[in-house]
Structure 1
Amino acid sequence: MMKKLAIAVVALMLLAPTLGLVTVGLVVNPTAIACLASSGLTVGNVPDSLVVTTANGETFTLNKQQLTHAATIITVGSSIDGVTRDAIQIALMAALTESTLRQLANTGAYPESGSYPNDGNGSDHDSLGLFQMRPQSGWGSIAELMEPEYQAKAFFGGPTGPNYPSPRGLLDIPGWQSMGKGEVAQAVEVSAYPDRYNNYEPVAETILTTLTRGTLAATTTPTAPASPVVDVAEASRVVFPLPEGTWVHTSDFGPRTDPLTGESAFHSGTDFAAPDGTPILAAADGVVTVAEFSGGYGGLIVIEHRLGGVTVATGYAHMWQHGIHVTVGERVVAGQHIGDVGSSGRSTGPHLHFEVRPGGTNGEAVDAAKWLNDHDAADLPEATAGAGCSALGGGL
């Protein structure tokens, strides 16, 4: 115990200057706040429509307005301490179930609610808005509940929630992290039909993946900062992240047809299909900043490196939970066995989804195949608009 405490103290001393710089950055760059929040999720472009399928097999299309409300829920959640990716998925499940992501007035119960911007008129008792919250239950005034941002904040709750301490939001549910997602949604909504929420879990996952594609986010708050790591030694070489002869290049970086939805999507990494359990190798010397089992990425490792005086992060996704062999803060060397190929998260078969992010863990992804070629780590074809790789056994 004393040894761990000593290590923590030393780490804090080393990180102090960097943390100061991060604080300054937040003042001048509001977008950084979302990047450093608990979920680590940031919203990209909102598409005009999105085809989704429920757990029961029902397929329907969400329009841009509904997706904009989803983006609001994600953005609000990402700004609240303690709200993880799972928590945001639960919020989307609840809003999908209660209103199909529509900001509903209720002129039967509250005629004045129709004078606020809305997506239609609901008729569920005296409920309002995305989460069908009731003024008489203490969720807020009519004016407040007709604001999507307010409803999202109220659903997440916690000490900074507008409804704290009652009625309870998600963060106010003891042990919510160990509960089923539908069970958590029911604990907040207290619905007469508690089993409905699970039907929308795959829909919420599709929305999250589509609106936040390219985000290397964990489901829990990282045990070490996801901002640039101090004292990362200069790396001298880059190696290919899979052993020679074990892989097939199956999907490129960039626009493509999503193998799961059939919709046009942007792929933030390069996919290499390989047998389940194939060793995954660190691409260069560096320090692990993320080693978590997350949503769409499944088992996820992120490593920060210094190459040519520049910080760059590499990401390795879709490992099974038991296939992660490193921990946050661990120093690794090029070619070190850091994990095993799996097919967890949003995946169609065993493969490595490999990402490269100049600037560090939260940087914007670039073409990983080109990066490997530029560093003499592979002889891959120039990246093109790659086809989905489900036919080859490993995609997404």
Structure 2
Amino acid sequence: MKRLIGFLGIILLAGPLLGLMGVAALMNPAEISCGWGSLAVGRIPDSLTAHTRDGGSISLNRQQLTHAATILAVGGQLPGVGRQGALIALMAALTESTLRMLTNPTAHPESASYPNDGVGSDHDSLGLFQMRSASGWGTVADLMDPEYQARAFFGGPSGPNAGSPRGLLDVDGWQFIDPGEAAQAVEVSAYPDRYQNYQPVAEAIITALTQPTSTKPSAAGVTVQETSRIVFPLPAGTYTGTDSFGWRTDPVTGAQAFHAGSDLAAPAGTPILAVADGIVGFAGQRGSYGGLIVIEHTVAGGPVASYYAHMYDDGILVAVGERVAAGQHIGDVGSAGKSTGPHLHVEIHPGGEREPAVNAMEWLAEHGAAGLAGAEAGSTGCRPGKAA
């Protein structure tokens, strides 16, 4: 009989694991390159037409799309934001200003002296996200700066307002609520239901602006396109962390040994998801890994390999050379190889399969993996399997 490991309750990560990355001070409006692959912005088109949820049509010009690119560029350099956070920010800016830097000469006459795309008149609100100086978002000069407004919207420990008013990263569990509700949690609008209407438009903007900007050949010579997003490898609420990356006392020999992956206990048969777009470089049984899938990716212009271990033969659902998408069901949790119970052993190798692994959980958090949740590490890890 296969022994199932019961899973514990999941607790949300309290915040990003790393501090704010530096944001480029000047960007060419024709081409903006972000820090993380999932939000890498390519050439900005002259226009884009998309449809809102209620069927309306909206046409955005190059200036509006440049503001959208600024939001993506800022979000791409903030650990914990990811594609979902960028989507929410775009929904908010579309709803509040149609992605325009709006002055408010009635409330703030000096605002008209800054570069702008038109005039607004909502109380004393300014800019892309219609932020109010009186509410503590910043000075008029701050709020007439698109990059500042994006950083203020995302917030977080290194945000310009230090959590008051709170930005998206200051909202507990924002990743797991409706994107429109998350936007409302930051904007605190009198019309909270407006944001959902712009979600399809925000999706279209991300698709248009984050076309693959870099490709790398895989080990098999096949081109690996830049990933479109990063995803956690197990569905939220299905797992608990049982052994972490780094030096540990080997549970079998008692000697110090290095554990190159992160172990996530989950019931046998739990779907395993590809962490990013890529190409399968290996799929089969490999020593203590048991059933192993290795996927090659291009992230932020560089090669990355992800490992998924301990599947049974019938739990491997992809083949070598197959292209997979981020979040695709590639296999099922098993307990093959050096294992005493069903779990996923996941490794991340920046630089490719032959390069050293890094802490997978930290890497996923840094890259804003969709569906990321945290769990306390326990004592169960990759151990010699027992006879069934």
**TM-score w.r.t. structure 2 length?**
0.53
- State the secondary structure of the residue aligned to 2:40: coil
2:227 to 216, 226, 236: 216
Deviations 1:257-298 (A, max 9, x none): xxxxxxxxxxxx99xxxxxxxxxx9465672367xxxxxxxx
Q: Do structure 1's residue 116 and structure 2's residue 122 form an aligned pair?
A: no
1:89 alignment partner AA: L
Map 1:336-355 onto structure 2 (within 5 A).
Answer: none
Q: Report the Cα distance in structure 2 between the residues aligned to 1:47 and 1:54, rounded to whole angstroms.
A: 19
Report the alpha carbon displacement of residue 302 of structure 1 after superposing the two structures with TM: 7.3
Q: Do structure 1's residue 103 and structure 2's residue 111 form an aligned pair?
A: no
Q: Report the Cα distance in structure 2 between the residues aligned to 1:89 and 1:193, rounded to whole angstroms.
A: 19
1:288 to 284, 287, 295: 295
**TM-score w.r.t. structure 1 length?**
0.52
Q: Report the Cα distance in structure 2 between the residues aligned to 1:189 and 1:315, rounded to whole angstroms.
A: 39
- State the secondary structure of the residue aligned to 2:120: coil
Uncovered stretches (5+) of structure 1, i.e. residues with no partner: 1-30, 226-230, 232-268, 271-280, 291-300, 305-312, 332-358, 362-396
Task: Return closer, same or farther for 1:95/1:284 CA change in 2, 3 Å cut-off.
Answer: same
2:56 to 47, 58, 75: 58
Q: Report the Cα distance in structure 2 between the residues aligned to 1:124 and 1:170, rounded to whole angstroms.
A: 22
Q: Report the Cα distance in structure 2 between the residues aligned to 1:123 and 1:181, rounded to whole angstroms.
A: 26
Map 1:6-25 onto structure 2 (within 5 A).
Answer: none
Report the alpha carbon displacement of residue 324 of structure 1 after superposing the two structures with TM: 3.0
2:34 alignment partner AA: A
Aligned to 2:34: 34
Map 1:110-189 onto structure 2 (within 5 A).
Answer: 110-189=108-187
2:133 alignment partner AA: P
Report the alpha carbon displacement of residue 220 of structure 1 after superposing the two structures with TM: 4.8
Task: Return closer, same or farther for 1:65/1:84 CA change in 2, 3 Å cut-off.
Answer: same
Deviations 1:110-159 (A, max 9, x none): 00000000000100010000000000000000000000000000000000
Aligned to 1:84: 82
Report the alpha carbon displacement of residue 165 of structure 1 after superposing the two structures with TM: 2.0
Q: Report the Cα distance in structure 2 between the residues aligned to 1:111 and 1:201, rounded to whole angstroms.
A: 33
Deviations 1:283-331 (A, max 9, x none): 65672367xxxxxxxxxx9769xxxxxxxx97412876xx33168xx99
Q: Report the Cα distance in structure 2 between the residues aligned to 1:221 and 1:122, rounded to whole angstroms.
A: 40
Moved over 2 A (4+): 31-35, 217-225, 281-290, 301-304, 317-320
Root-mean-square deviation (CA, aligned residues, Å) is 3.8
Report the alpha carbon displacement of residue 219 of structure 1 after superposing the two structures with TM: 4.7
How many aligned positions are there?
231
Aligned to 1:316: 324
Report the alpha carbon displacement of residue 88 of structure 1 after superposing the two structures with TM: 0.2
Deviations 1:11-40 (A, max 9, x none): xxxxxxxxxxxxxxxxxxxx99934x4x73
Report the alpha carbon displacement of residue 164 of structure 1 after superposing the two structures with TM: 1.1
Q: Report the Cα distance in structure 2 between the residues aligned to 1:209 and 1:112, rounded to whole angstroms.
A: 36
Q: Report the Cα distance in structure 1 between the residues aligned to 2:51 and 2:352, rounded to whole angstroms.
A: 35
- State the secondary structure of the residue aligned to 1:34: coil
Higher relative contact order (CA 8 A, sep 6+): 2
Percent pairwise identity: 55
Deviations 1:38-91 (A, max 9, x none): x73110000000011100001121000000000000000001111110000000
1:127 alignment partner AA: S
- State the secondary structure of the residue aligned to 2:203: helix
Q: Report the Cα distance in structure 2 between the residues aligned to 1:59 and 1:192, rounded to whole angstroms.
A: 24
Report the alpha carbon displacement of residue 213 of structure 1 after superposing the two structures with TM: 1.4
Q: Do structure 1's residue 325 and structure 2's residue 331 form an aligned pair?
A: yes
1:199 to 197, 202, 217: 197
Contact 2:305-2:352 at 8 Å conserved across structures: no
